[in-house]
Amino acid sequence: MSWFNQKQNAVLGLDISTAAVKLLELSKVGTRYRVESYAVAPLPQDAFVDKNIANTDAIAEAIKAAVKQSGTKLKDACVAVSGSAVMSKVITIPASLGDAEIEDQVLDEAAQYVPYSLDEVNLDFEVQRVNEANPQMLDVLLVASRKDNVNDRVEALSKAGLKTKIVDVEAFAIENSFALLTDQLEGFNEGKTYAVADIGATMAALSIVHDGRTIYTREQGFGGKQLTEEIQRRYGFSYEEAGLAKKRGGLPESYVVDVLEPFKKAMVQQISRSMQFFVSSSANRTVDGIILAGGCASIPGVENLIEQTLGVSAYIANPFISMALSNKVKPQALSADAPALLLVCGLALRSFD
């Protein structure tokens, strides 16, 4: 299984998170992208256990539902594994090596850094650039993940009638989408540093992007599921009822003050804590803006609370602002779902590598 494929035919972006399967198909005419189709299909609670796939049949059924809902005809897909399931490291090798020698050298280096037998992992690498400190050397990105992490996703796609063409890493997919957000960012330039906080159902992932490249990532166990569970506990709903009430409204007047505001404050605290870890590990690095993604980014007013609390400009991610839409895509629905589709957009963009 290849992580960094060569040019290939169009692929579906397929984001398999703990709460839903998100599907996106993009095309490109000239320099402009077009959304051909997209869909979001919920997953049952038993699909994942401790961030690991536990029920490939349930995930396959959700993928089938998303494919049917979207109307896509594509059969090849790009999926991703989470950062916590991936070891990545930039290594340096001599620039004078040929292609075959580079591969041998990388495998030798991998044996030193990967904490498992190489027979137990899927591994790939990408030559990135000439090393800044020594032009006689190349920087090479090495990535590896346990085969179980990859195979479970491949199996779920296969059961749904799709073929896995590329396995990506979630942080790389976020980085891939970042260029689509720059028009949203006031005073953007390449020298600035931005935090992308992707907060989904169960995980809060922070990526720090500088000059278009990810320089730091951190994951925390926090997400919208905690808000759903608090609604369930406080108002006596089932989990499913609480989820619907969270999305559609109709909760008691006390909900905003007693439940939603404390959750928003906890969300900002999580982002602040992750950013503090980054700042403490970097030399005089500041963050020029925070981009909110994931389902929790759609909570009203959360960007204002971040600006008030952290003193940094905050933006709600929408990678589709400059894209054309097919007649199958409802603009209002896509706009509402856009923050939760940042990662899958990065996967769908792999069609144009």
**How far is residue 105's CA from residue 97's CA, in Å, rounded to a whole number?**
9
Asked whether residue 40 falls in the same domain as residue 137, the answer is no
Instruction: For residue 290, give the amino acid letter.
Output: I
- Helix boundaries (H) for the chain: 56-70, 99-113, 147-159, 170-178, 224-235, 239-248, 254-255, 261-281, 302-310, 331-337, 342-348
Asked whether residue 188 falls in the same domain as residue 238, the answer is yes
Asked whether residue 70 falls in the same domain as residue 35, the answer is yes
267-276: average pLDDT: 95
Asked whether residue 157 falls in the same domain as residue 143, the answer is no
- DSSP secondary structure letter of residue 188: -
Asked whether residue 169 falls in the same domain as residue 119, the answer is no
Q: Edge-to-edge strands of the sheet including 12-16? A: 163-169, 76-81, 12-16, 20-29, 32-42, 324-325
Asked whether residue 221 falls in the same domain as residue 273, the answer is yes
User: For a pLDDT cut of 90, what percent of the chain falls above it?
Assistant: 73
Statement: residue 47 has pLDDT above 60: yes
Asked whether residue 164 falls in the same domain as residue 308, the answer is no
pTM above 0.85, yes or no: yes
29-43: average pLDDT: 95
Statement: residue 7 has pLDDT above 50: no
Asked whether residue 220 falls in the same domain as residue 155, the answer is no
Asked whether residue 169 falls in the same domain as residue 30, the answer is yes
For the chain, how many structural domains are there in total?
A: 3
pLDDT, one tens digit per residue, over 289-327 is 999 999 999 999 999 999 999 999 999 999 999 999 999
Q: Judge contact between 217 and 238, C-beta under 8 A.
A: no
Statement: residue 193 has pLDDT above 60: yes
> Which residue is listed with tokens 């005419």?
29
- DSSP secondary structure letter of residue 190: T
pLDDT, one tens digit per residue, over 85-102 is 888 888 999 999 998 899
Torsion of CA 126, 127, 128, 130, to 10 degrees: 170
* Angle at alpha carbon of residue 302, lines to 298 and 304, rounded to 5°: 130
**How far is residue 264's CA from residue 173's CA, in Å, rounded to a whole number?**
26
pLDDT at residue 286, as a whole number: 85
Q: How confident is the model at residue 284 (pLDDT cuts 50, 70, 90)?
A: low
- Which CATH number fits the domain that encloses residue 240? 3.30.420.40
Asked whether residue 129 falls in the same domain as residue 176, the answer is no
Q: Which three-class secondary structure state does DSSP give residue 183?
A: helix
> Which residue is listed with tokens 């960012």?
185
pLDDT at residue 189, as a whole number: 83
pLDDT, one tens digit per residue, over 212-250 is 889 899 999 999 999 999 999 999 999 999 999 998 888
- DSSP secondary structure letter of residue 249: -
Q: Edge-to-edge strands of the sheet including 213-220? A: 213-220, 204-210, 193-199, 289-293, 314-316
**How far is residue 312's CA from residue 315's CA, in Å, rounded to a whole number?**
10
pLDDT, one tens digit per residue, over 170-180 is 999 999 999 99
- Which CATH number fits the domain that encloses residue 113? 3.30.1490.300
Give the structural domain span for 189. 182-316
**How far is residue 295's CA from residue 293's CA, in Å, rounded to a whole number?**
7
- List the single range of 5-9, 30-34, 326-330 with lowest mean pLDDT: 5-9
- DSSP secondary structure letter of residue 46: G
User: For a pLDDT cut of 70, what percent of the chain falls above it?
Assistant: 97
